Chains A and B, each alone.
Chain A
Amino acid sequence: MAEELPGRDVQADVTGGDALPAAGQPLLRIEGVAKRFGTFRAVDGVSLDIKSGEFFALLGPSGCGKTTLLRMLAGFEAPDEGHILLGGKDIAQALPHERPINMMFQNYALFPHLSVRDNIAFGLKRAGMARAEIATRVAEMVALVKLEGLEKRKPDQLSGGQRQRVALARALARRPQLLLLDEPLAALDKKLRESTQGELMELQRRLGMTFIIVTHDQEEAMTMASRIGVMKAGKLAQVASPRELYEAPRSRWIAEFVGDINLFDGETKLRDGHRLVIGTRDAGALVVAEPREPLGTGKFAVAIRPEKVKLSRRAPVSEAGRETAINLLDGVIADICYLGGTTTYKVKLDSGGMLQASVVNSARLDVDAYSLNQHVVAWFTPDDCVVLPS
């Protein structure tokens, strides 16, 4: 990281950045944005604030409208309803070339007839920058993405990872106020993807730029973003930090979409201070912690992540009096899935249901491993459960 960092103060020289927001104001405000294709509502009333310097991820299954939303930010689609305010200025109907926003395309969209250098310089030339200045900026960008020595190559003479870097450098060259990344790592293999994730995060921190990434890969979103917006059927289902999204999903759908989860449907049976007892069909009565917003009564689902479930051969002996607060479920091992770092056991509960438990393989030898059809006790605390409206 010997190269000089491009400073924030020179950001505005290309894109006419008079629109930088005052402190505390969001950089980007999306207000009730909707887009229809025919009768299909691709984006259906999305409102969202993005702070300056944030790394935000739009996460969702394919067809949820996340790419359409991103394309509206870039200017390739015009919203049918709502406003998009960048630094307080409505840009909803502005054309792509009129916005201080750049985008990194999913397939990179590098110009095949131009060299790496000319690809990166493309946007600078359109901005009417002086030749010498363009050369300096291109050299800076090439160093930033570590592509030294490849400036004269054409895109088809580069590897996938190198192409990804050129695309990134090209999008960053104009120093946009906002960088949009459409599935930027989807075309890379797993190892390269992981290292590139780290580099992207590091770059974003150093440049202090605002990134919005679109991805269907929840691990990618969790790793990189400081905040995640989960989209479902054109609507934002939840906007939260990765941890909150995982540990306190707002709905059953989000709980199932993000990570693995055990779900048990049931009804409230008993309220005991901060504890609720929910009678479930598949796992009997479960003691859970009451969520912050009181639930009332009715049908609920108890959700528990597999890694929160502990397994043991006998019921755990705990300090006196605490036993009642623990959910103990008897069962037999029905399926074993060895994943290297962890092993996922499927436990057939005596009460009828199935429970997934993920156990860290902390010892190299399999002394702690369970075998098929072995009787086990699965247990978890009330605080490890999330109660979701059914």
Chain B
Amino acid sequence: MRKVSRLSRFNIASLALGLAFLYLPILILVLYSFNASRLVTVWGGWSLRWYREFFKDRAMIEAAWMSLRVAVSSATIATLLGTLAAVALSRGERFRGRTLFSGMLYAPLVMPEVITGLSLLLLFVALNAERGFWTVTIAHTTLTMCFVAVVVQSRLGSLDRSLEEAAMDLGCNPVRAFMAVTLPLIAPAIVAGWMLAFTLSLDDLVIASFTTGPGSATLPIRIYSEVRLGVKPEINAICTLVIALIAVVIVIASLASKLSSSQGESAAPL
């Protein structure tokens, strides 16, 4: 017993170290967002001053609103396309080059963002598209669709094919079988995919800066340009808000995947 408890003390220590490594910087950022002092590194007492500053900063608010709109719309489109792609690849008849297609679907996962961003920029320039909300949305859809497809496809892969067959056997045509059985069972993965796409879009800087136009900066672009002129405590406040938002989204996503695992099948990988 003593040996076990010593081991577990070591485990607790290593866990604490690991968590500190991950979360100490964030913790400091959150702490300093409540700092009354104008200087970022000097503690001047508790205050909500920088939150007020942020809500008065029109440009920053606009950037945040832009980011939120882009994240919601790109995540929704990506979820739709990604789910369709996953269903087609895992449920469709075997067709020539299917392996190639599924490989190509996942390529953006490992593609450097600079390349994705640059190629999209070239495309938009070639098409003479006005750069702004829609170009960023399309770019983010491109980036996040493959993540949704991965999440949904792994869920589909763990689903027993005979469930759909049973539904057809019991009187459903293939489309109704999908709606009545497959869709409810992969719904948690679809929700998780949406959340993933949403957070990815929210924090993307590289692709957004390639594909956005004048006057429509997203929040990360805005923050980055502000920071280049020196870190204002207001940035800490904004970042804290973003962290809070992402934390909420992640909690919902993990609840969704927990819901799916309580249905007897393996959870979506998140």
Contacts and interface: CB of A to CB of B under 8 A. Distances in A.
Interface of A: 74-76, 95-97, 101-103, 105-107, 109-113, 122-123, 126-127, 154-156, 170-171, 174
B97 interface: no
Contacts of B184: 113
Interface string B163-194: 10111111111001000110011000000000
Contacts of A96: 165, 168-169
A101 B171 CA distance: 10
Given A75-B169, A113-B263, A126-B170, 13 more contacts: A75-B168, A97-B169, A97-B170, A103-B169, A105-B166, A109-B165, A111-B181, A112-B265, A122-B180, A156-B264, A171-B169, A174-B170, A174-B171
A112 B264 contact: yes
B159 to A, nearest CB: 9
A111 B163 contact: yes
Contacts of B128: none
Contact of A76 (B163, B165, B171, B263): B165
B41 interface: no
Contacts of B162: 105-107, 109
B93 interface: no
24 contacts: A75-B169, A76-B168, A95-B173, A96-B169, A97-B168, A97-B169, A97-B170, A103-B166, A103-B169, A105-B165, A107-B160, A109-B160, A111-B163, A111-B167, A111-B181, A113-B185, A113-B263, A122-B170, A126-B172, A127-B171, A155-B264, A156-B264, A171-B169, A174-B171
A106 B162 CA distance: 9
Contacts of B163: 109, 111-112
Contacts of A174: 170-171
Interface in B215-270: 263-265
Interface residues of B, number: 20
Contact of A74 (B169, B181, B264): B169
A172 to B, nearest CB: 11
B167 A122 contact: yes
Contacts of B180: 122
B171 A112 contact: no
The DSSP consensus for interface residues of chain B is: helix
B176 A126 contact: yes
Contacts of B264: 112, 154-156
A105 B185 CA distance: 19
B166 A109 contact: yes
Contacts of B181: 111
B160 A97 contact: no
A95 B170 CA distance: 11
A76 B176 CA distance: 16
Contacts of A105: 162, 165-166
Contacts of A123: 169-171
Interface string B43-79: 0000000000000000000000000000000000000
Which 9 A-B pairs give the minimum distances between C-beta atoms? A126-B171, A123-B170, A156-B264, A109-B166, A109-B162, A96-B168, A112-B264, A97-B171, A112-B263
Contacts of B185: 112-113
Contacts of B263: 112-113, 154, 156
Contacts of B160: 107, 109
A244 to B, nearest CB: 33
A240 B98 CA distance: 45
Contacts of A109: 160, 162-163, 165-166
Nearest to B166: A109
Nearest to A97: B171
Which of B168, B172, B181, B264 has the most chain A CB within a 10 Å cutoff?
B168
A112 B159 CA distance: 10
A73 to B, nearest CB: 11
A268 B6 CA distance: 81
Contact of B169 (A102, A113, A156): A102
B60 to A, nearest CB: 44
A102 B170 contact: yes
A75 B181 CA distance: 19
A95 B165 contact: no
Contacts of A155: 264
A109 B176 CA distance: 17
A111 B182 CA distance: 9
A103 B168 CA distance: 10
B16 to A, nearest CB: 36
Nearest to B187: A113
Contacts of A127: 171
B177 to A, nearest CB: 8
A200 to B, nearest CB: 19
A384 B167 CA distance: 50
A162 to B, nearest CB: 14
A95 B184 CA distance: 23
Nearest to A121: B170
A74 B169 CA distance: 7
Most chain A CB within a 10 A radius of its CB, from B171, B263, B264: B171
A13 to B, nearest CB: 14
Contact of A111 (B166, B168, B169, B176): B166
A76 B265 CA distance: 24
A357 to B, nearest CB: 44
Contacts of A106: 162
Contacts of A107: 160, 162
A156 B171 CA distance: 24
